[in-house]
Amino acid sequence: MKSMKKSRIAELHRISYALRLKALEMIWHAKAGHASPAYSMCDILTVLYFEKMRLDPQAPDWEERDRFVLSKGHACATYYAALARRGFFPEDRLLAYRQLDSMLAGHPDAKSVPGVEVSTGSLGNGVSCALGMAMVAKRTEKSHRVYAIAGDGELQEGIVWEAAMAAGNYGLDNFTLIVDCNGLQSGGDVRDIMDIAPLADKFKSFKWCIHVIDGHNIEEICDAIDLAGKQEGKPHVILAKTVKGKGVSYMENRYEWHMKAPTDEEYAQAVGELERGMHLYDQE
């Protein structure tokens, strides 16, 4: 694939850490939320919203827009931050996250939040909703693409595999599913709770194209999305190897942080670590 400029990679990296910082502030202020599952997918979300998807924040219902579904809806803190930074609504609304009567609930609400295509939260349902969008687009000969992010623990839901079977059967090459493979879920290790391996073989058996990448490598994410847009006849799954809680040392690879708000001391430590992480590429 065409190599990206280092300056653009650095810029997208800084955006991803800015989204993590904003999500941290939101969760700390609300005293509740899902930071670590939001952090593991944040680099992927950044590439989609700030590099790859066709969008118009001033016209959220633009017919030719690409569609995105956050199937792991509990990880919405960085999703809200991305929508606000992209211009779908003012960033000053973010601190109302999880507050009474706020439009920014603990799971995305399509009726309340500009830019949200589908209300999600019941695990697995978002994948099937994205499948439906892709089927309609294919049958009506529309050119937009449909993207969804699901967690690896979420793939324990049977509805995901019904959608996978249908997508392969109908050759939905306009559909890209990105699996956030951080290896953990709310109760522990995915392998210990309900092992879903081997994922690549499962999707291959359902007639999908498979791409395995480092889910924190901006260039790999971009290349995989580009490749998915060029291969015809099959849906595409990107198995993104990620770190739950990426960017905050005490959250990384700790399932206890699946849903937990930091204390004031933990908040200050996380801010420092994320600010340092934001500038990782500044000297290159």
Q: Which domains does the chain have, with CATH numbers?
A: 6-278 (3.40.50.970)
pTM, two decimal places: 0.96
How many degrees, rounded to 5, is the angle at CA 10 between CA 4 and CA 12?
A: 85
pLDDT of residue 125: 97
In this structure, what token pair is assigned to residue 106?
């603990």
Residue 260's SS3 state is coil
Predicted confidence band at 283 (pLDDT cuts at 50, 70, 90)? low
Whether cis (ω within 30° of 0) applies to the bond prior to 198 is yes
**What's residue 282's pLDDT?**
74
The one-letter code for the residue type at 27 is I
Cβ neighbours of residue 97 under 8 Å, at least 6 residues apart? 26, 27, 29, 30, 33, 77, 80, 104
| Among candidate residues 85, 11, 78, 74, the one with its CA nearest the CA of residue 39 | 78
Average pLDDT for 218-243 = 96
Q: What is the pLDDT of residues 186-216, one digit of tens each?
A: 999 999 999 999 999 999 999 999 999 999 9
Report how far residue 152's alpha carbon sits from residue 248's, in angstroms, rounded to the nearest whole number. 21
Give yes or no for residue 279 having a pLDDT over 90: no
Residue 178 CA to residue 47 CA, distance in Å, equals 12
154: helix, strand or coil: helix
- Kindly list the distances between the CA atom of residue 33 and the CA atoms of 20, 249, 265, 272, in Å, as whole numbers in the listed order: 13, 18, 17, 20
Q: pLDDT > 70: what percent of the chain?
A: 99
User: Please, where are the H alpha helices in the chain?
Assistant: 6-30, 35-40, 42-47, 76-86, 125-139, 158-169, 190-194, 199-205, 218-230, 264-278
